[in-house]
Amino acid sequence: MLPVIALVGRPNVGKSTLFNRLTRSRDALVADFPGLTRDRQYGEGRVGPRPYIVVDTGGFEPVKSQGIVKAMASQAELAIEEADVVIFVVDARTGLTPHDERIANHLRRSHRPVVLAVNKAEGLDSVHAAEFYELAMGEPNMISAAHGHGVHNMIELALSHCPDEEIPIVEDDEVQEGKAPRVKVAVAGRPNAGKSTLINALLGEERLIAYDMPGTTRDSIRVDFEYDGRDYALIDTAGLRRKGKVFEAIEKFSVVKTLQAIADSNVVILVLDAKEGIAEHDAHIAGYVLESGRALVVAVNKWDALDSYERSRIDEEMEHKLHFLNWARQIHISALKRNGLNHLMKAVSDAHAAAFAKLSTPKLTRALIEAVQRQSPPRVKGVRPKLRYAHQGGQNPPVVVIHGNSLQAVPDSYKRYLEGWFRDQFNLAGTPLRIEFKLNR
Ligand code: GDP
Ligand code: GDP
């Protein structure tokens, strides 16, 4: 599970500045993930090798008539509840305020570990931090979100409060037994898209092999099941709870859980509601899947409820709004009538195979040379990049590392051309593909 860090503090102390810095620090992989409500923002960050989810809780103004507890009740509350650690941001320039003290009291009651960040501290002497000891929130960490000072150390401190990453299951064990590895699947989609109906249809009672009951709301569910002779694990999905033998949609939809489930999976099934069309929220989840590098299958659900005119309209809409996912397969299904599920799971299995494809250096290099012969990279300021050879740098998603000279001059359009080329040559439908350049000295 990705650790979750919540940024809490009164308005104007610099939370969104800090949020931007933390999410931007992840190499080229910025995932702004606006939630269902406008007052929270989600993103993924990384310090060293360790990724985490960061949630900006927005500024919570105390509502005087009802008190701060009421004001924080819904959204910020859920964010704190879901967080492994809270970064409590205060402002070194304005100093300690009564509002800070009220927030501190609230945080104490939440029983979450808190790291105190004294922001806007660039150029200030450490005496400015002293008054914040009064909050009794531990050592104040002087930082400057705007300039980046102290941020790295503070995040390392915050992550030290998070549970250690689980040791990943060695998938090769299962391969050695002659079995295909278990495919870890996350089912994502907005509320009411039909996720629980789909899961119930896929699992069936008798196929359910193992089930971990979550002890608290922060634990995750994982269900192992078999479909058509293949082993799958369903990773905890946001907005779902098990009740008796079936999954039910719950009221509280959690973006954090969606992000964690995606990060823990190999393949994401994105469930769209064909009756409602493509919503902004669908595109956000799709964008996040793309950035996470997970393989993806789009399930266009409730196909049974559409007439032929509506069907062609929704197909057009998808082409238009989800064009950046043209590598992912789209399967029309009816979770309710259990139509299309075999196709769907075949696509999941194929996407998994593509995500874990083994690409040999000679084959990759041959494909690279052919790609360049067909269309060479454009000359930039008199320099033509030289692409020499390629090898595989990772799986899920497959990474193709290309070596050569002047590779910094390769334009994005050419990179996209190569992406499409390798995808076709190696049958990599269903998975994102990354191209990386390594300069030869
Ligand atoms: P939020 O309301 O807590 O999200 O605060 P913002 O991130 O919007 O920042 C509020 C103001 O503080 C903006 O004008 C920022 O430019 C400024 N600010 C944020 N971080 C720093 C910092 O490290 N140093 C200084 N001097 N100003 C900062
Ligand atoms: P979730 O919130 O994504 O888990 O969605 P649910 O599985 O609870 O489904 C929401 C509603 O859509 C329910 O009333 C389902 O009966 C209905 N629904 C789900 N799948 C289908 C489908 O394939 N066709 C039709 N017509 N309705 C469906």
Q: Identify which ligand lies nearest to the alpha carbon of 18.
A: 1
Centroid of ligand 2 to alpha carbon of 399 (angstroms): 37
Contact between 80 and 86 (Cβ < 8 Å): yes
Q: Is 15 in the pocket of ligand 1 (CB under 6 A)?
A: yes
Q: Which residues contact 187 (CB under 8 A, 6 or more apart)?
A: 195, 198, 199, 234, 237, 240, 268, 269, 271
Q: Is the CB of 182 under 6 A from ligand 2?
A: no
What does the pLDDT look like over 84-118, one tens digit per residue?
999 999 999 999 999 999 999 989 988 899 999 99
Alpha carbon of 17 to ligand 1 centroid (Å): 6
The number of the ligand nearest the C-alpha atom of 59 reads 1
**Residues comprising the binding site for GTP?**
9-16, 56-60, 119-122, 189-196, 236-240, 301-304
The pLDDT of residue 154 is 94
Residue type, 207: R
Regions in the chain scoring below 70 on pLDDT:
24-41, 47-49, 58-76, 165-179, 205-221, 238-245, 249-253, 440-441
Per-residue model confidence as pLDDT tens digits over 116-157: 999 999 999 888 899 999 999 999 999 999 999 999 999 999
The pLDDT value given to residue 111: 87
- Say if CB 264 and CB 186 are below 8 A apart: yes
Best mutation site among 336, 338, 343, 344 for ligand 2 pocket (most ligand atoms within 8 Å of CB): 336
- Per-residue HEC secondary structure of 144-213 comes to ECCCCECHHHHHHHHHCCCCCCCCCCCHHHHHHCCCCCCEEEEEECCCCCCHHHHHHHHHHHHHEEEECC
120 CA distance to ligand 1 middle (Å): 7
Distance 204 CA to ligand 2 centre (A): 16
Check if the beta carbon of residue 333 is closer than 8 Å to that of residue 298.
no
Write the residue with the smallest CA distance to atom 18 of ligand 1.
14
The string of DSSP codes covering 387-414 is EEEEEEEETTTTEEEEEEESGGG--HHH
Q: Are 124 and 46 in contact (CB under 8 A)?
A: no
> What is the 14 CA–ligand 1 centroid distance (Å)?
4
